[in-house]
Structure 1
Amino acid sequence: MKYCKECGKQLKEGAQFCGECGTSYSSNQKQDSSTRVTNSVKSKPMDKKTKRIIAAAGLALIILFGGYKAGEALTSQNRLIEKFENALLEKDEKAISKLLTSNDKKLEISEKSVKGFVAYIEKNPDRIGEIIQGIESQAKLMEQQNNSNKNEQTMAEEFSPDNMVNLEKDGKILFYDKFELNIPSVYLNLSTNYKDTELFVDGKKVGKSSNADFEKTFGPYLPGIYKIEAKLKTDFVELTTEEEVLLSGFDNKESIGLYLEGEDVTVYFDGDDTTNLKGKLFINGEDVGVNPFQESTFGPVLTDGSMNLEVEAELPWGKIKTAKIPIDTNEIQINLANNENFQKTLMDTVVSGAKERLEAYTSGDIEKYSAASPSEKDSLQVKVDEAKEYDISFKGKYLGSAFDLNSFSVYSEEGKWKAQLSVNEKYQSDEYYAGESPDMQNSEEYLDYTLVFDDKAEKWLVDGRYSAWSFNDEHIKEFKEKKPKEYVTTWGNSTAASATASSNEGTSEEVTKLMDNYLNQLVSAINSIQFDSVSPYLAADSQLYKDQKALVERLGEKGTTEELLDYQVSNYSQEGSETIIYTWEKIKINYADGTSETKEYNWKYTAVYNADNELVLTNLEAE
């Protein structure tokens, strides 16, 4: 039995080559047990086919080894971490979206959905290092797991991911571990306080509240920065609130309260039940389709004074729309008399009534008090009867009224509409007994007026006059009688009344001529700086003479000129040797700088006859 000298393998009978190593042998080779013969035989070379097989096998081994190493590199966690870090540094939303995964199957990861996450990185660039460091720490823990005898459950207990992004194993690819970057999902629990509020996340509408105190969960979302909004648009107002929130990912759900700062407002009206009235509510000038008399509570609106309301009411005398009222509280008292035209109607009634009352009183004919209600006429009749009984006479003039605009109110009472206001009435008058001469003095009466609307006559009537408890002069409207008429009672002193009338008739032409000359020549004297133009109409020794001379000189120095636009002799009377003249004058004043202004004056002049029996002025005072 023969054995191969190279590998020791038993050779088959007659074999020329070793079947194990390929060493060749000659058939005539002999080996003596005592003599060792070494016969050097040249080996036969391998053929080309064998060489190709051997080369291919070697190349395959190299390729397999290289492929293994390449696959190991492609699937390594270090390469994944490096790609993610570069994507974060470049804010590459597309690359980031491809590198991230989530265990929440509902979470869609796309370029659009990662914007909030990228926004957080942009605002907090230092977090990139922290996130990558956290992922690398997780990779090291996984390597320790592979090199230790600890089972996966034990390692999982030691590994507690607290990063915004976490490294996780996701099975194998062939021989290699597969890794992924997992990001948690976050759900938004949004709540708001008004029905029909629209909810938005980063400008996208996600829901609408179905009731007040609404609460619902939306999502999922990636961790990051988001703009959360709530919008409510009603007939009254458009309310919005927004909040920028960070969803860290450490909690699966974040609760955000989007509460709108609006309130319901209730309006109230004076008087009896007004729910049968028709009306409109205006918010910031817009009709919101609400009848405030039937729906007194409305909203939501802002109560910080930035909004205003108006109420329009259909009333027996027509429509009234109140002035704008700032909404600065959730309970508002509405005063329907807060209307300029309506207030003017009431003021005109009071002014007419004041003059008619004097006419009716002094004549004794109560029906001349047409602006009064029957009860007010009856009250005046009692006064007339008392004056006649006690022989009390009256002489006087109504000069005007000042109205407290804050005092106006209108309300319904026992089926009637009434109004109230406060007024300061001004008179020049005197009451005196028979045989006495009147001493007319200026006086004021503070009165509270009550007016009632006469449905049949379709007008307001004076229903009562009472002493006022208070009068606020901070917000007033003043009326002045341009031509005050003098009223004298027709009983008890008819002689004095007729004498006054006769005197007035005798001097009317003189008074008119005097005032016409004086006013026109005074303007001429001022403009020409020639006092002699007006001096003939002034008493030479009077204070008025001195004052007007100084006026002409002073205005001349300043370069001021005047124009007489209009004037009227309102009234005049004879009081002993003096004639009292009341005028209304409208003057345009032109200043040296080119500006001008128009003023109106009410004056009281005193005139006397001089030595030439001509009427001249001696005194001037404001009326």
Structure 2
Amino acid sequence: MTSKNKIRLGAAAFAVIAAAGLYFLGGYLADGQRLIERFESSIDKKQPDKLLKLLSAPEGAVDRTTAEAIVDHLGEDADAKQAVLSRLKTEIARLEEDSEQSFAADGESAFVYAHKKEKKRWLIYDDYELELRTYKVPVTTNFGGARILLDGEEAGIAGVDGSTLQLGPLLPGKYAIKAMYEGKYTTLENEVQAKLFPIGSAVEPVEVPLRGEYVDVFSNNGFARIFINGEDIGLAVGDGQRIGPITADGSNTISVEADYPWGTTKSEERPIDGKRVEFELTALTDETKEQIVDAAHAFVSSWYEAFRERDAERLRRVHPGRKADLAGHFADMVAGDEHYIGQLRKATFDRDSLRLEQLGASDYSVSVRARIEYEEAYYYGAFDFRPETEAGEQTTSYRLRYENGEWAVFEWSEADNEALSANVKVYDR
């Protein structure tokens, strides 16, 4: 054999060997079971970039975030991993047996399924890939009109009466789904982490509950304004309106504030942590209490002078209506020739008994208890007799109203003889 023939024979043998190698290489690259091995290896070695090269989706491209989520999920859940691998191996085997088989609509497949490519590898071999399903995810929340956000982007508005909002189509992965309800007084929000890796076609609804309460507010002043987080909400306690919806986990605060002619009183600011809150406003300052007690004493001390003189004009700090009543009484005394002698000996007013009542937006009354010690006597001028005065003592409740910038007594009545507190102001004769 000549050298030339030897070269030709060697080249032919090499071509045969190369063709055989390429044939087996093509079969190796297109082998479906090897595809599953590469899939499993990328999970075990936590290699999302290698996994990404194996994935496709009928709708749109697959990005690295999706591959990372699958690696994390299957890497953390051994049972889910085995379930997916078992299905993929079965699918590959069935595809190799039946070239017309498709799992795109198979309700038993996982979120990733085996798929035969339309084009053959090197025009010879059946080739396979892993495709991802997409899903419509139902989302519900308990506040109709709440905004639903998907990974920080608004995806829709929740309907009323618990209707469901469909998100998607979404690829398998991990998603942050948030509901936000912008109420009149505060914003309710909650976020849940949804893992979308179903085995089969069923997708569990995602519930994003919002915690919002309606709070009843009470106070000893129905005209007090309500503040939420330091802001006047334009409602008074007496409006009787429930405040809400609002988060009652202590993250919001509530207080009330009332205006009086002698100043503004504000309650402490409390965290909202329940459905009911009560406030007791300390409306009367120490200075105002002194003014009330002094006004009541001025009336009491002038009482004896007015009776002695039978003249209602001698009365001080008295309401005009009561002054007219006493003027009529004194006229009757004059007509009947009835006289009075007496004087106040001591008046003790209980500061702790002061109770304020607001009758209208600018109508205030306050009551105070006092122990009055006196001496007095009545007689008729027609008789030549002047009696000795007799000492007496009584506990009286005085009610005063605030008018024209000052307090005036408009009502008085005998009170029980219950002991006064230690916080008293004493007026001696």
Q: Name which of 94, 100, 109 aligns with 2:55.
A: 100
Which residue of the partner structure matches residue 186 of structure 1? 135
Q: Does 1:170 align with 2:89?
A: no
**1:191-218 Cα distance to aligned partner (Å, 9 max, x none):** 445577443334x223363876685332
CA 1:244–1:295 in 2, change beyond 3 Å: closer, same or farther?
same
Q: Write the letter of the residue equivalent to 2:254.
A: L
Q: Secondary structure at the match of 1:352?
A: helix
2:348 aligns with 399
Quote the Cα distance in structure 2 between the aligned partners of 1:485 and 1:93. 95
TM-score by length of 1: 0.54
Question: Which residue is equivalent to 1:75?
Answer: 30
What is the distance in 2 between the residues matched to 1:478 and 1:286? 40
Residue 427 (structure 1) aligned with residue 402 (structure 2) = no
**Tell me, what secondary structure is at the counterpart of 2:211?**
coil
- In the other structure, the counterpart of 2:212 is 262
3-state DSSP of counterpart to 1:166: strand
> Given residue 78 of structure 1, which amino acid in structure 2 is its aligned partner?
Q
Secondary structure in 1 aligned to 2:427? coil
Over 3 Å counting, the alpha-carbon distance change for 1:160 and 1:284 in structure 2 is closer
**Change over 3 Å in CA distance of 1:369–1:329 after alignment to 2:** farther
What is the Cα deviation at residue 283 of structure 1?
1.0
2:412 aligned partner, one-letter code:
R
After superposition, the C-alpha distances for 1:505-548 in whole angstroms (9 at most, x for unaligned) are xxxxxxxxxxxxxxxxxxxxxxxxxxxxxxxxxxxxxxxxxxxx
Question: Does structure 2 retain, via aligned residues, the 8 Å contact 1:313–1:320?
Answer: yes
Is residue 20 of structure 2 the alignment partner of residue 65 of structure 1? yes
Q: Determine the structure 2 residue equivalent to 1:458.
A: 405
In 1, distance between residues paired with 2:32 and 2:159? 50
Q: Give 2:410's aligned amino acid.
A: D
Structure 2 residue corresponding to 1:207, chosen from 155, 163, 175:
155
SS at match of 2:359: strand
Please show how residues 323-334 of structure 1 align to structure 2 within 5 Å.
323-324=267-268
97, 109, 117: which is aligned to 2:62?
Answer: 109
1:50 partner letter:
N
Alignment of 1:166-565 (within 5 A): 166-171=113-118, 172-173=120-121, 174-192=123-141, 197-202=146-151, 204-207=152-155, 209=157, 216-232=165-181, 236-249=185-198, 250-251=200-201, 254-263=204-213, 281-287=226-232, 290=234, 299-303=244-248, 307-312=252-257, 317=261, 320-324=264-268, 339-342=281-284, 347-364=289-306, 366-367=312-313, 369-379=315-325, 389=338, 391=340, 393=342, 395-403=344-352, 408-412=356-360, 417-423=362-368, 425-427=369-371, 429-430=373-374, 433=377, 434-435=387-388, 437-438=390-391, 444-445=395-396, 447=397, 449=399, 451=401, 453-454=402-403, 457-466=404-413, 479-481=423-425, 484-486=427-429
Paired residue secondary structure (2:64): coil
> What is the rounded CA distance, in whole Å, between the counterparts of 1:248 and 1:477 in structure 2?
73
Query: 1 CA distance for matches of 2:357 and 2:14?
Result: 109
Taking only the aligned residue pairs, the percentage that are identical comes to 22
Q: Separation in 2 of the partners of 1:346 and 1:271?
A: 17
Q: Is the 8 A contact 1:409 1:420 kept in 2?
A: yes
2-structure distance, mates of 1:395, 1:280: 43
Write out per-residue CA displacement over residues 596-619 of structure 1, whole angstroms, 9 at most, x where no aligned residue. Answer: xxxxxxxxxxxxxxxxxxxxxxxx
How many angstroms apart in 2 are the aligned matches of 1:159 and 1:296?
55
Matches of 1:287 and 1:219 in 2, distance apart? 41
**1:70 CA displacement:** 0.7
Q: For the residues of structure 1 that align with 2:422 and 2:55, how far apart are their CA atoms? A: 80
Q: Which runs of 5+ in 2 are unaligned?
A: 378-386
Which has more radius of gyration?
Answer: 1
What is the Cα deviation at residue 386 of structure 1? 9.0
Q: CA deviation digits over 1:28-77, x for unaligned, max 9?
A: xxxxxxxxxxxxxxxxxx44433333322222111111101011111112
2:94 to 136, 141, 145: 141
- Offset at residue 227 of structure 1 (A): 3.4
Aligned to 1:161: 108
Q: Which amino acid aligns with 1:374?
A: P
**Aligned-residue CA RMSD in angstroms?**
4.5
CA–CA separation in structure 1 for the residues paired with 2:246 and 2:103: 56
User: Structure 1 pair 64/306, CA: closer, same or farther in 2 (3 Å)?
Assistant: closer
- When structure 1 is superposed on structure 2, of 213-222 and 291-300 the one drifting more is 291-300
| Alpha-carbon offset, residue 124 of structure 1 | 2.1
- Cα distance 1:408–1:322, how it changes in 2: closer, same or farther (>3 A)? farther
SS state at 1:181 partner? strand
Q: Secondary structure in 2 aligned to 1:142? A: helix
User: 1:309 corresponds to which letter in structure 2?
Assistant: I
* Shift in Å, 1:375: 1.8
- Deviation, 1:485, is 1.7
Distance 1:459 1:208 in 2: 61
Counterparts in 2 of 1:162 and 1:208: CA distance versus 1, 3 Å? closer
Quote the Cα distance in structure 1 between the aligned partners of 2:262 and 2:114: 79
Asked if structure 2 preserves the Cα contact closer than 8 Å seen for 1:360 and 1:367, the reply is no
